[in-house]
Structure 1
Amino acid sequence: MLDYTKKITFFSKLAVKAFQIGSGALSATFLLSSTALAQLGASPLIIEAETNRGQAQTMINVINAGDTPLRARIYTEPFTYDRDKGFQTLPSDTNDLSPYLQFSPRELTIPPGVTRRVRLRAILAPSLPDGEYRTAVFAETLKESVNGSGKNVGVITRVATTVYIRKGDVSPNLTVDSAQFNANQKTLQLLVENIGDASVRLGANWQLKQGERIIQTGESVPTAIVAQSDRNLILNNHPESEALALLPGNYQLTGELIWGDDNSNQLPFSVTLTVPEQ
């Protein structure tokens, strides 16, 4: 019997107008390989495209950065971004692009240091409602080895490109709901709802005050919110952010959400943050 451990590297960042997975019963033996993780890559990380006469074409680069050949298969899964957990695959989704997406090749062998292209073609029928269709395109490699007991073990590494194809005139529509402070994780969270029909990747410039005293200012690393969903943005997730510890009380959190080409879209926000007594 071949046991599998799946180790996933997920890349997320919006670009062109495009985790540990449980292995069920096959989970008795685990073998994680940092070499395997470093070997497989994909670009771009996110693809966005608009249809032209019902079609859109693009490509993904699958990269072997290692010094040994690798075999990979290409497949898709619908996904979303959970409010707190982030990227999550789904068993099904009404906005799944997979049924309308053609790609080639589906299996490939990549020599060391070589990049192979996978061409994507989305065909959306005129009868489909206008909206955004999305999927995660995974490149997955399987490397077999033998553990100390002589049992065959598979290390499965996969990387993903998220693909967003838009049909018709669609756009995000954002509202800021509330803010909270996670005392355990020391994170400042802003709940943002996207009631529009297009996903968005947005960051924030922010300032936290108590009365007239400025506690901290900063900018967040951009985070994706899919259409018709909400998400807690971690505001102090920038690598240069200082540690944040807040005493119980009321604070004022102000700033602006920013997104789009050259951050051309901005939405000011101002909410009260209450840190309760422990």
Structure 2
Amino acid sequence: MTIRRFLTISSIAFCFFCYSTLLAGNTLKGQVGISPQNFIVDLDNPGKVHAYRLMNMGQSPIRIEVDLMSFELDEDNQVVPIVPTETSLENWIIVNPLELTIPPGDSQVVRFSIRPAIALPEGEHRTAMIFQQLPTTEEELPIASSSDASMVFKSLFRLQTAIYATVGHVERTGHYHDVRLSGNSLWIQVENTGNGHVRLSGDWALWPASQYSATQGNQWLDWLELTNSDRQANPLTPPPARHGQLSANPVMPNAKRWLRIPIGESLQPGRYHLELKGQLSDSPIQISTQLQVGSAVR
């Protein structure tokens, strides 16, 4: 059974997608942190060595096997393995080591370099680096007997991080098509019009439509121009009913996706005014509109 799980350990940057494969039970025996979250590598300067650092936060040694996988994101922003081709990035990545053991409370580095033997097309290429936990002797599954009806299974984790490699000129551009509001989520439909993945960043704010005025919206936009320290020293009065920062999964080239932005507790039915100012990587996005809270987008 495969369950999507995010490992949360403070002060550690984790991979942007992370899976735990559980043989049984719901306890992850080994807790592993990975830094950095992902890599963007310029293949116009190939051969440079890059490194992930893996940290064992558990109380037992862990064995890990390293592998590579070509992938795509489907319409639900879920990772989908794809069959590699001659120009797939995974063909040209050298990884060392391919298997490692990390003592408890310790860390180890996994290095890689990209050395294409053929000319890769201009644009962005990607692969996932997979860190799969291997069973140790003490983690081997016991054999059930007729006199023992219970069996304790151990858990194994599987972590994946993204490696993006660029060749020549890469454009990270796009625009939004639609925006909707459901009880506890803001949904933004965006399209990637470039040849590299794009990410949404910036700020959003919501007011009940009956309490919103253009003056408030302009004050909020002006407040966004302040530095973080100035924002803390000069809080907006009154603040929006809801506000936060934009963050969502990447959108791949030539893809159109709905991105979900959590907004906290469910809103009461009614009309709300949205102010949004941000970036879809290199493309600015600004939205000022009224939205009706109704059924969810999905």
Same topology, TM > 0.5: yes
1:219-277 deviations in Å (ceiling 9; x for gaps) = 23354222222332223x3xxx542414255x5533222366xxx86432345534458
Give the secondary structure class of the aligned counterpart of 2:29. Answer: helix
Question: Are positions 1:231 and 2:257 aligned together?
Answer: yes
- Cα deviation code 1:39-96 (max 9, x no counterpart): x222111111212344443111122222211111001122333443x34132336684
Following superposition of structure 1 onto structure 2, how do residues 83-102 of structure 1 map, counting pairs within 5 Å?
Answer: 83-84=75-76, 86-92=77-83, 96-102=88-94
CA spacing shift, 1:145–1:130, aligned 2, 3 Å: same
Question: Of 6, 27, 31, which residue of structure 1 is paired with 2:25?
Answer: 31
Matched AA of 1:245: L
- 2:166 is aligned to 166
Report the 3-state secondary structure (helix = DSSP H, G, I; strand = E; otherwise coil) of the residue aligned with 1:67: coil
Aligned residues: 251
- Determine if contact 1:203/1:223 at 8 Å carries over to the other structure: no
1:152 positional shift: 8.6
Q: Quick one: distance in 2 between partners of 1:12 and 1:227?
A: 21
Q: Which residue of 2 aligns with 1:201?
A: 199
Distance 2:71 2:47 in 1: 21
Out of 62, 67, 70, the position equivalent to 1:75 is 67
Given that 2:170 and 2:196 are in contact with CA atoms closer than 8 Å, whether structure 1 keeps it comes out as yes
Give yes or no for the alignment of 1:256 onto 2:277.
Answer: yes
1:42 matched to which residue of 2? 34
8 Å Cα contact 1:204-1:256 kept in structure 2: yes
What letter matches 1:149 in structure 2?
A
Question: Shift in Å at residue 156 of structure 1?
Answer: 1.9
Structure 1 residues 127, 148: CA separation in 2 closer, same or farther (over 3 Å shift)?
closer
For 1:221 and 1:277, locate their aligned partners in 2 and report how far apart those are by CA, in whole Å. 22
Separation in 2 of the partners of 1:276 and 1:45?
Answer: 35
Q: Is the CA contact (8 Å cut-off) linking 2:173 and 2:283 kept in structure 1? A: no
Check the 8 A contact 2:16/2:161 in 1, yes or no.
no
Q: Percent identity?
A: 23
Asked whether the equivalents of residues 59 and 117 of structure 1 are also in contact (C-alpha less than 8 Å), the reply is: yes
RMSD: 3.3
CA distance in 2, matches of 1:8, 1:140: 15
Structure ID, larger Rg: 2
Instruction: Work out the CA distance in 1 between the residues paired with 2:49 and 2:285.
Output: 32
Distance in 1 between residues matched to 2:211 and 2:283, nearest whole Å: 29
Name the structure where strand makes up a greater proportion of residues. Answer: 1
Structure 1 match to 2:265 = 243
Structure 1 regions of 5+ residues with no counterpart? 24-28
Give the match for residue 185 of structure 2: 187
Could you report, residue by residue, the CA deviation over 1:159-197 in whole angstroms, capped at 9, with x for unpaired residues? 2221111111102111011012234xx211111111211
Distance 1:59-1:20 versus aligned 2 partners, 3 A rule: closer
Q: Is the 8 A contact 1:33 1:155 kept in 2?
A: yes
Give distance in 1, aligned partners of 2:133 and 2:275: 45
Cα deviation for residue 212 of structure 1 reads 6.0
Determine helix, strand or coil for the equivalent of 1:268. Answer: strand
Whether the aligned pair in 2 keeps the contact of 1:248 and 1:277 (CA below 8 Å) is no
